[in-house]
Amino acid sequence: MKFINSSKAVVVSLCAFSFLHSNAQTNKEEKSLISTKVFTDGTNHWYHIKDKTNIVNPIPNQPQYAETDYAKIADNILLFQRNNGGWPKNYDMKAILTPKQIDTVIKTKPILHTTFDNETTYTHVNYLAQVYTLTKDAKYKDGALKGIDFIMEAQYGNGGWPQYYPLEKGYSRHITFNDGAYMGIMNLLKKIVNNDPDFEFIDIKTRKKVTASYEKGIDCILKMQIKEDEKLTAWCQQHDEITLLPAWARKFEPPSICNAESVDIVLFLMAIDNPNEKIIASVQGAVKWFQDSKIYNTRVESFQAPEMESKYKKITNDVRVVTDTAAPPIWTRYYELGTHKPLFSDRNSELLYSLAEVSRERRSGYAWYTDKPEKALKKYPAWQKKWDSGNDVLKN
């Protein structure tokens, strides 16, 4: 019996060791897995949106690297990085490129058409930093540092960032919150300022520059918040780079109070420890605006519709607004300056006041409604109790 029990103990011990070893391996693999989700927007554009300006276009059934092939993905990122340190937008960083595609991309490196749009550049820098942490291969560190230098060079003196740098003609010169550009940069810089382990390689001199850039970025955010009747509201998608006032971007993106993009700004400000009075007032004003701009009894639904071919893509659906007393609160993407009416537009820049007035191509191809403000409203009570306990704007 003792022998049998002893054997059982050995088996149990071996099983336990195997289980622990397996868990350790799994944990190590999970830790080394770097998400490429941040490149989804650019990837979708490359595969699904017609764009004659693309450097290269996908081939049929373009093969992709696995998520675990992070070094190969990072090599792709370095391939697309241009000589000024920035990146062009709308390509798949997981694509296994053909020799011809690679050669074409290499030839475009001197072109200075680089951007923060569609989650570009700051996401690439962050990915390279993570790969360097895992591999210690200097080329990834060098690429990340070059990208960080590009970001700081692109910053306006007032603290904002354009959509494209070097500066180009048109609305891309405006300070841009749209598609996460400004806040994507700020969240990257925050990691560096807060000594994130993936950025330990940054020297003291560069870290000081990043800290100064970050603080200027916060100051610019506070200056751009739209104030009406002496009350702080939220932000526009784009602000004039000189006056800091709300500005037109694309023809269907008017100057307005833009709830969708404003939420990420508020969540960023809420995450700042020991906020000063200006930051507290900014959050309070925006949260109050979110509460006051709720739309009730409204639901937006997509439905199948006869197929049509637009200049940009094939359309097989349509979108409509319906009355639904059980629907949770919702917000429009835009609110008119001054009147605070829900606002829409189209490719002719006409100001419209219902989704039904928008052409089908834009009606079904743009997010005119949002539920994002609910994220800020849910986080507000804990933030308010911690940083401004005597002033609950949701009860006032």
d(C-alpha 309, C-alpha 296), whole Å: 34
In this predicted structure, what is the pLDDT of residue 312? 80
Are 337 and 247 contacting, i.e. CB atoms less than 8 angstroms apart? no
Q: Which of 180, 206, 223 is the last residue of a domain?
A: 223
- Residue 250 a catalytic site member: yes
Same domain, 237 and 147: no
Is the Cβ–Cβ distance between 254 and 343 less than 8 Å?
A: yes
Query: Can you state the percent helix, strand and coil of the chain, rounding each to 5?
Result: 45, 15, 40
Q: Are residues 201 and 249 in the same domain?
A: no
Following CA atoms 291, 295, 298, 304 in sequence, which dihedral angle do they give, to the nearest 10 degrees?
-90
Same structural domain for residues 218 and 234? no
Contact 345, 357 (CB under 8 A): no
| pLDDT at residue 50, rounded to an integer | 83
Say what the pLDDT of residue 32 is.
Answer: 56
**270 falls within a domain:** yes
Quote the pLDDT of residue 203: 96
Domain for residue 19, yes or no?
A: no
Q: Report pTM.
A: 0.89
Determine which one of 57, 158, 187, 250 is catalytic.
250
Mark whether 42 and 168 lie in a shared domain.
yes
3, part of any domain: no
The mean pLDDT of 156-174, rounded to a whole number, is 97
pLDDT of 17 higher than 50:
no
- Per the domain annotation, does 8 fall within a domain? no
Per-residue confidence (pLDDT) for residue 30, from 0 to 100: 42
Which residue, of 197, 223, 249, is where some domain finishes?
A: 223
pLDDT exceeds cutoff 50 at 42: yes
Q: Are residues 192 and 103 in the same domain?
A: yes
Q: How many independent structural domains does the chain possess?
A: 2
State yes or no: pLDDT of 244 exceeds 90.
yes
For residue 310, what is the domain's CATH number? 1.50.10.20
Question: Residue 1: its pLDDT value, please?
Answer: 38
Is 187 or 16 the better-scoring residue by pLDDT? 187
Q: Is the confidence at residue 337, as pLDDT, over 50? A: yes
Is residue 274 annotated as part of the catalytic site, yes or no? Answer: no
Residue % of the chain over a pLDDT of 90: 89
For residue 373, the enclosing domain spans 225-389
Q: Are 160 and 95 in contact (CB under 8 A)?
A: no
The answer to whether residue 61 is domain-embedded is: yes
User: Which residue in 84, 118, 126, 259 is the catalytic one?
Assistant: 118
Torsion, Cα 70 76 77 79, to 10 degrees, reads: 150
Percent of the chain surpassing pLDDT 70: 92
* pLDDT band for position 304 (cuts 50, 70, 90): very high
